[in-house]
């Protein structure tokens, strides 16, 4: 597992994260030469359970990597207390959580780093790319260098009016930089972030109202003192309660011309992790069950009221509700 380009200090280290996330969360840990350790989610918030984090801590634990799932903030008060107690780094996966706040503080600013994505499915879209927030100037400077081959100066700083400036390669870096062109596209979306968030909240509240009493699980209401990012509206479909299984529901929605998603099959459902770590989904039963029942309904600021009514009608018909 340890490769020549990784710092020896990473060897044998563990990072605790959630099994209900996109594979990139876990792969990032592996690419750093560290071992992922999964801590199950709370079935209501669907976020990593702080008690499960505590139970997963070993002398090898280096960091906690919480994911603010669907835009709902993790329990950052408890997670930061655990990190302080055990001297751990905290890296927040904020891919769903541009607008999210906990106790009036934006997520991504609690831990040592906050990582955002501007991929096509996210709430600011630059095609590809993302953003890292860092608490420590030196760590931020190092991230910049690692993102561009390990070079001490990028092109803007090499070819300036003051003439050519030598750069130095100070680390074996990567090609992980976002293009300035992409940043220009993203910067212009910042002005729309709030209006888009308000529209998604409206759609979310319309779904909540329409589906109350239906035979399916609904997302828990946002916790007091928090701001939900309303990135995903996930419902739970199980055959016993809903009258059809999750995959049958997905197929029927597709047949009705309505796009859906699954966020996510739990990480240990995937063969790579099963083969590499011997993981079985049953070891994290809450994430397993959620992953097998969850469906993300359309939630986009581009949706009209009649688009939302069409989704609601399709769900109503499928569940023989009302």
Interacting residue ranges for ligand PLP, rule: CB under 6 A: 21-22, 24-25, 67, 93, 95-96, 117, 119, 130
**What span, in angstroms and rounded, lies between the C-alpha atoms of 65 and 27?**
12
**Helix H or strand E encompassing 101:** strand 101-102
**What span, in angstroms and rounded, lies between the C-alpha atoms of 65 and 93?**
7
Q: Tokens representing 317?
A: 């018909």
Q: Cα–Cα–Cα angle for 286, 290, 291, nearest 5°?
A: 115
Per annotation, catalytic residue among 122, 153, 165, 175: 122
Task: Say whether 63 sits in a helix, a strand or coil.
Answer: strand
Q: Which is nearer to ligand PLP, 98 or 288 (CB)?
A: 98
Q: Tell me 221's DSSP state.
A: P
Report the nearest approach of ligand PLP to the CB of residue 120 (Å): 9
Strands 163-164 and 226-227, bridge-based pairing: unpaired
Q: Which is nearer to ligand PLP, 33 or 66 (CB)?
A: 66
Q: Which is nearer to ligand PLP, 121 or 152 (CB)?
A: 121
Q: Tokens representing 193?
A: 């972030």
Question: What pairs with residue 159 in β-bridges?
Answer: 164
Among 57, 109, 47, smallest CA distance to 83 is for 57
Report the nearest approach of ligand PLP to the CB of residue 83 (Å): 20
Q: Which is nearer to ligand PLP, 232 or 319 (CB)?
A: 232
Q: Which is nearer to ligand PLP, 24 or 321 (CB)?
A: 24
**Is there a catalytic annotation at residue 122?**
yes
Report the nearest approach of ligand PLP to the CB of residue 130 (Å): 5
Report the nearest approach of ligand PLP to the CB of residue 4 (Å): 24
| Separation in Å, CA 107 to CA 54, 72, 103, 291 | 21, 10, 10, 24
Note if the bond before 264 is cis, omega within 30 degrees: yes
Residue ranges of alpha helices (H) inside 212-284 are: 239-242, 246-255, 271-277
Report the nearest approach of ligand PLP to the CB of residue 70 (Å): 9
Catalytic positions are 122
């Amino acid at each position: 597992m340890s490769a020549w380009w990784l710092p020896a200090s990473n060897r044998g280290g563990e990072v605790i994260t959630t099994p209900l996330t996109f594979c990139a969360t876990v792969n990032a840990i592996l690419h750093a030469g560290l071992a992922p350790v999964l801590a199950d989610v709370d079935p209501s918030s669907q976020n990593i359970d702080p008690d499960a984090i505590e139970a997963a801590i070993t002398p090898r634990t280096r960091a906690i990597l919480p994911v603010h799932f669907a835009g709902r903030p993790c329990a950052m008060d408890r997670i930061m207390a655990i990190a302080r107690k055990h001297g751990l780094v905290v890296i927040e996966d904020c891919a769903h959580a541009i607008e999210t706040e906990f106790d009036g503080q934006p997520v991504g600013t609690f831990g040592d780093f906050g990582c955002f994505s501007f991929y096509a499915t996210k709430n600011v879209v630059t095609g590809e790319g993302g953003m890292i927030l860092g608490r420590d100037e030196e760590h931020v400077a190092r991230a910049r260098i690692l993102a561009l081959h390990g070079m001490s100066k990028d092109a803007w700083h090499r070819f300036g009016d003051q003439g050519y400036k030598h750069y130095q390669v100070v680390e074996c870096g990567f090609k992980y930089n976002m293009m300035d062109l992409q940043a220009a596209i993203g910067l212009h979306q910042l002005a729309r972030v709030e209006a888009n968030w308000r529209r998604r909240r409206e759609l979310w509240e319309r779904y909540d109202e329409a589906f109350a009493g239906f035979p399916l699980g609904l997302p828990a209401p946002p916790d007091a003192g928090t701001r939900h990012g309303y990135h995903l509206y996930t419902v739970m479909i199980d055959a016993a309660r809903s009258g059809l299984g999750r995959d049958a529901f997905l197929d029927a929605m597709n047949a009705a011309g309505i796009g859906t998603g699954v966020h996510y099959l739990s990480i240990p459902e995937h063969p790579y992790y099963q083969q590499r770590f011997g993981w079985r989904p049953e070891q994290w039963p809450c994430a397993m069950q959620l992953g097998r029942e969850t469906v993300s309904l359309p939630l986009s600021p581009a949706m009209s009221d009649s688009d939302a009514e069409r989704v609601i009608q399709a769900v109503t018909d499928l569940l023989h509700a009302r």
